[in-house]
Structure 1
Amino acid sequence: MSKPLFLAAIAALALAGCSQKNDNDDDFASRVGANGQAAPAAPVETTAVVGPPPVGTDVRTLDQLGNISGVDLGQRDGACTFTSDGTETLIAAALSNPASTGRAVVRVDGKLYQLASSGGLPAIRQGTRFSGEGITVDVAGNDQSAILTVTDTAGQVRTIGGKWICA
């Protein structure tokens, strides 16, 4: 085989390999809400609300985060994500300084809500309390076994098992 023909064959194989879709791409896309299905009837919020959810909203039922491209998690040295059955329901970030405030976001009834925590990234990594108007979320545990507890203003609680993954 001549050198130019050999190089052309290698290039064709490389392009074919690059164009193949990885199963992990589909898995990730479905977890973050971009799995190619039809868009929901209502527009999906991509920025977080700082304020209480509407009256009658069950804040204990967290939705999949999905597109959070418009959320401002502030300056950060790292972040943690809570997942349950492969679905991300909370992301939090902060600076490493324990005096800094952390920011988190959850999606409830299709809207993103901004939450805050104290203790900076060290507290977030250990699991901490995140609070916003009408929503309190506690995370305890680590990457292999974590519990997320959501409490509404009436004191009603929902507990969800999952993983707390930090980077």
Structure 2
Amino acid sequence: MKYKAVAFDMDGTLLAGNRLILPETIAAIEKITAKGVKVILVSGRHHSVIYPYYYQLKLSTPAICCNGSYIYDFEKQNAFASKPMTKDQARMLLNLVNQYGIHTLIYTDKMMTYELLDDHLESFFKWVKSLPEFLQPEIKKVDDFEKVIEQSDAIFKFATSSH
């Protein structure tokens, strides 16, 4: 059987614990792409956080982002086959995370946003700063998630964490 495509989950599969792709994994991906097999990245991550790996692997395929809520075409710089939350769903979810004191990031069509810095984000920012500037994803501190919801064309994900 000749494979036409292979999809890789990122965290815990493609990426080692240090957020890097192992050299032997890169070599294996280069071998299969040389044979014409398409490589697709699949992740719960925002497309801007997938992009450094897409660039490193020299891919030309779209990525499946935010747990499947959209597919992103890096070459055309647009999302398609998307299923964002409605503004009402996003507001309801925001009320719940606020009610229970759950740390949240909101992933929009343009960027990731946060209100409060936590230890996970501090670690993430170290990784971001390790990248060349043109590969650094945009993550924006905001004062009010309600404004983010109202001003965004699409809300794709609430990434939550809590101690």
TM over 0.5: no
TM-score (norm 2): 0.25
More helix by share: 2
TM-score (norm 1): 0.25
